[in-house]
């Protein structure tokens, strides 16, 4: 048995810490999302207390510019726009192609309220 850790899991754990950054350091909601990076990565829609939704995108800014259901759900649930922010973790190659696996790990670990489905952990 090897003592080596799974590198994808290690990367996911680092990304998780980046997404849990203090609320005030996250991206505020702006109409055009110009403050959100236009790079590939993992993002989290969150309120002041917790992560509500986890996702991945080849371009995080355009993902939000095209509309995002998690933001709509947060407003319907009565959260004020100033109480919702976007946390991001940019990834570089070779990690871009591992985004689905990283997202899967984060979904299983966090089970965010607005993510309707969680992947089954791999055995």
Give the residue-averaged pLDDT of 36-58.
97
At residue 110, does pLDDT exceed 80?
yes
- What are 40's two structure tokens? 């590939």
The pLDDT assigned to 121 comes to 57
Predicted structure pTM score? 0.89
Average pLDDT, the chain: 92
CB of 45 within 8 A of CB of 68?
A: yes
Q: Which residues pair with 56 in a beta bridge?
A: 42
At residue 120, does pLDDT exceed 60?
no
DSSP for 73-84? Answer: HHHHTT--GGG-
CATH topology of domain 24-110: GIY-YIG endonuclease (3.40.1440)
The pLDDT assigned to 7 comes to 93
DSSP assignment letter at 48: S
């Amino acid at each position: 048995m090897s003592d080596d850790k799974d590198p994808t899991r290690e990367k996911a754990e680092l990304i998780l810490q980046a997404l849990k950054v203090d609320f005030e350091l996250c991206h505020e909601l702006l109409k055009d999302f110009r403050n959100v990076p236009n790079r590939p990565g993992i993002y989290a829609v969150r309120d002041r207390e917790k992560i509500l939704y986890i996702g991945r995108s080849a371009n995080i800014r355009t993902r939000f510019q095209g509309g995002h259901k998690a933001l709509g759900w947060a407003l319907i649930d009565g959260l004020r726009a100033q109480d919702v922010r976007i946390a991001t973790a940019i990834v570089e190659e070779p990690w871009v192609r591992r985004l689905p696996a990283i997202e899967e790990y984060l979904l299983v670990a966090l089970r965010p309220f607005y993510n309707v489905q969680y992947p089954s952990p791999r055995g």
